[in-house]
Amino acid sequence: MEKTKSYKQFDGYTNYYSHQSAITGTKMNFAAYLPPQSEGRKLPVLYWLSGLTCTEENFITKAYAQIFAKKFGVVVVAPDTSPRGAGVPGEDDGYDLGTGAGFYVDATNGAWAKNYKMYTYVTQELRALVEKQLPVDGKHSGIFGHSMGGHGALVLGLRNPDLYKSISAFAPICAPMRAPWGQKAFSAYLGNNRDDWARYDATELLKSAKCKTPILIDQGMDDEFLKEQLLTEEFRKAAQGYPASIRMRDGYDHSYFFISTFIEEHFAFHAEILKG
């Protein structure tokens, strides 16, 4: 693992890292903020998963996360959203499939299956690397994300309650099996077996969830993707009796202006659980 850039910020450091991934077969990048409290001791860690077209840069530069990571004493790790340069035919043809659109699944279909393994990359390889190389306490980990990354946070969190003790999301794709973005990605990455799709659909997973990992969702009511792509109401219906707080925010859209407005509340939510 190579540290490629480092910036002092709020007495801690925003660092960028690169490494060769055995899972994706490509070079992978991620960013991390190490607050000053990490000097000499291990802290809880939050993994942020970004949305379509994003890299490891978007959240770490736009969300104003570092000041709250310092306030609550947690490390934040933000990986890229897909392999890059894998050479899969069509991976650069559109914004919603391929490069920048890994959807946090392990592809099993066609040429995608060799490299597009973001589920295993995040839950296994990245996590092991972070816990070995950075000052984090892996037993106190949470996960959060936005849009496609919100979908990823919900799915990875629900499927791995032993790894992630808290889950939150901004404007997540809640029912990708019923959304155009999800249907396009799942048919390409997973083929046509809808049982395989259901393993990566948060609404479907919630229906059979045995562990009750707390979930917080913020959704803007002026989000242009709400009705067709995000389907928050489907998740709300499935969440009856589950410890999930779903907050509809009047006037807010799908952007990082929305995220930055409520990011402190998400840090507080996770910190209460991880440090509680």
Task: Verify whether residue 254 is a known catalytic residue.
Answer: yes
Q: Is 223 a catalytic residue?
A: yes
- Predicted confidence at residue 210, as pLDDT, reads 83
32 φ, ψ (degrees, to nearest 5): -150, 140
- The CATH number assigned to the domain holding 52 equals 3.40.50.1820
Residue 267 has pLDDT above 90, yes or no: yes
Pairing of strands 12-20, 2-9: antiparallel
pLDDT over 90 (residue 268): yes
Provide the pLDDT confidence category of residue 213 given band limits of 50, 70 and 90. very high
- Residue 1, pLDDT > 90, answer yes
Percent pLDDT > 90 in the chain is 97
Q: Give me the pLDDT at residue 195, please.
A: 96
- The per-residue pLDDT of the chain, averaged, comes to 97
What pTM was computed for the model? 0.97
List 140, 151, 254, 266, catalytic entry = 254
Residues in Cβ contact with 173 at an 8 Å cutoff, skipping those fewer than 6 apart? 147, 148, 150, 151, 179, 181, 182, 229, 230, 231
3-state secondary structure of 63: coil
- Closest alpha carbon to 182 in 30, 28, 51: 51
Catalytic residue among 50, 82, 223, 270, which?
223
Q: Is the torsion defined by CA of 187, 26, 52, 168 positive or negative? A: positive
Q: How far apart are CA 192 and CA 136, in angstroms?
A: 39
Query: How many angstroms separate the CA atoms of 32 and 26, rounded?
Result: 20
pLDDT band at 211 (very low <50, low <70, confident <90, very high): confident
**Angstrom distances, CA of residue 130 to CA of 19, 127, 167, 223:** 11, 5, 19, 34
* Domain carrying residue 6: 2-274
Catalytic residue among 147, 168, 201, 218: 147
Instruction: State how many domains the chain has.
Output: 1
pLDDT in tens, 24-80: 999 999 999 999 999 999 999 999 999 999 999 999 999 999 999 999 999 999 999
Residue 245 appears among annotated catalytic residues = no
Amino acid 208: pLDDT:
87
pLDDT tens-digit readout, 115-166 = 999 999 999 999 999 999 999 999 999 999 999 999 999 999 999 999 999 9
Which DSSP string corresponds to 203-254? HHHHHT--S---EEEEEETT-TTIIIII-HHHHHHHTTTSSEEEEEETT--S
